Amino acid sequence: MSAEKIIGEWKKKQFKPVYWLEGEEDFFIDKVVSYAEHHILSEAEAGFNLTVFYGKDADWTAVINACRRYPMFSERQVVLLKEAQQMRDIDKLESYIENPLTSTVFIVSYKEKKVDGRSKLAKLLKEKGEMLSTKKMYDSQLPEWTSELVKSKGYSMSQKALLLLVDHIGNDLSRIDNEIEKVLVNLGDRKNITEDDIEKYVGVSKEYNTFELQSAVGAKDLAKAIRIIAYFEANPKAAPIQLVLPTLYNLFSKTYMIFGQDARDEKSVASNIGVNPYFVKDYLMAARNYGYQGIEAALLLLHQYNLKSVGVNDSGTEDASLLKEMVAKMMQ
C-alpha cells in the first residue's frame, strides 16, 4: 500500500490496528508518520491519547503496555514508534501484533531496513496490519514524480524549471518538496513555476548548470562549455565535478544506445532508450556531431578523467582544469 492510500483511508476514518513503515525512502515514511502524529487525533484528544517512542530509548514492554491501554475521551489512541530500526528486541512486539487492540493505531517507522519476509513478524504484519515498503526512486523517475507533486499542490511547472530543480537537487525527495514549498510561498497569485523562479528562490542559474553544459557538449559548442565550467569554478557548490561527470556520462551512454536502433524520430528514440523526451534533441545532436567512434572516445575520456578526479594518475589538478581539458579533447 502507498503512503497516499494509507493517508487517504485515514481521512475517511478507516484504520487498521498496526502499520509497519519500512525501507530506504524516508520521505514516504515521514509523510505517513507526520500525518499520524498531527491529524488522526484532534488537539484535545492527542493530549491523552498520543504516545511517541523512539527506538534507541524504547523498551519493548513499555511499547506493548502503551498499545494495550484504552483511549480516554476518544474512539482511538495513537502509538508511534519512531526510528524502530534502532530498537533492541523488536521481535518481542510480535505478542502484541498477534492480538492488537482495534482502538489503538500502532505505527512503526522502521527506516533503512526491511523486516525479513520469512520471519514470524513479517507474516503477522501482513495478516494483522498494513505494510508500507519503500525503496529509493530511480533518477529517471524524479521528473515525473516532481511534476505530480507540484500538480497535487494545485500548481504547474515548466519543463525546464522541472529539470533544473531535479538536476540541482538529485534524489532527495524531502529536499525537492521543501524547495517547491519555498517557491510556492513566493509565487503570489501565479500558478505556474518557471525557470526564473527556480533561479531566484532555489539558487540555480538557468544559464550555468549541468543541463546547459550537457547541451553545449552535445552541440560541440566549446566556447559555451568553457564559460559554464568557468562559472562552476567560481561557484564550487553549483556543480562539483562528482555531479558533472555522471551528467556527461549519461549524455554519451544514452547517445551510444541510439546507434543500436533504426528509429530516429524523437518520440521513438525517447521510448526506446528510456529517457525524458525533453532531452532527446541533445542525444540526437550528439549522435550527429560525434558519430559512433566519437561517442566511444568520449566515454573512454570520461572514465580516464573520473580516475584523475580522485587522484589516480594525476598530481592534484583543479577540477575545473580537468573538465576544460576533457571537453576540449572530446570535441577535437
pLDDT at res. 5: 94
For residues 40-66, average pLDDT:
94
Pairing of strands 18-23, 156-157: unpaired
More confidently predicted of 30 and 169: 30
Q: How many other C-beta atoms can be found within 10 angstroms of the C-beta atom of residue 182?
A: 12
pLDDT-derived band at 170 (thresholds 50, 70, 90) equals: confident
Handedness of CA 266, 272, 277, 281 (dihedral sign): negative
- Measure Cα distances from 84 to 29, 79, 88, 95, 190 in Å: 12, 13, 9, 17, 42
Taking the whole predicted model, whether its pTM rises above 0.75 is answered as yes
Nearest to 239 by CA among 207, 263, 210: 210
245-303 pLDDT tens trace: 999 999 999 999 888 777 677 788 877 877 777 778 888 899 999 999 999 999 999 99
Mean pLDDT for all residues in the chain? 91
106-118 pLDDT tens trace: 999 999 888 887 8
Q: Tell me how many degrees the CA angle 291-294-300 measures, rounded to the nearest 5.
A: 145
117-162 pLDDT tens trace: 788 888 888 888 899 999 998 887 898 899 999 999 999 999 989 9
Phi, psi of 50 (to 5 degrees): -115, 120
pLDDT-derived band at 93 (thresholds 50, 70, 90) equals: very high
Percentage of residues of the chain with pLDDT beyond 90: 69
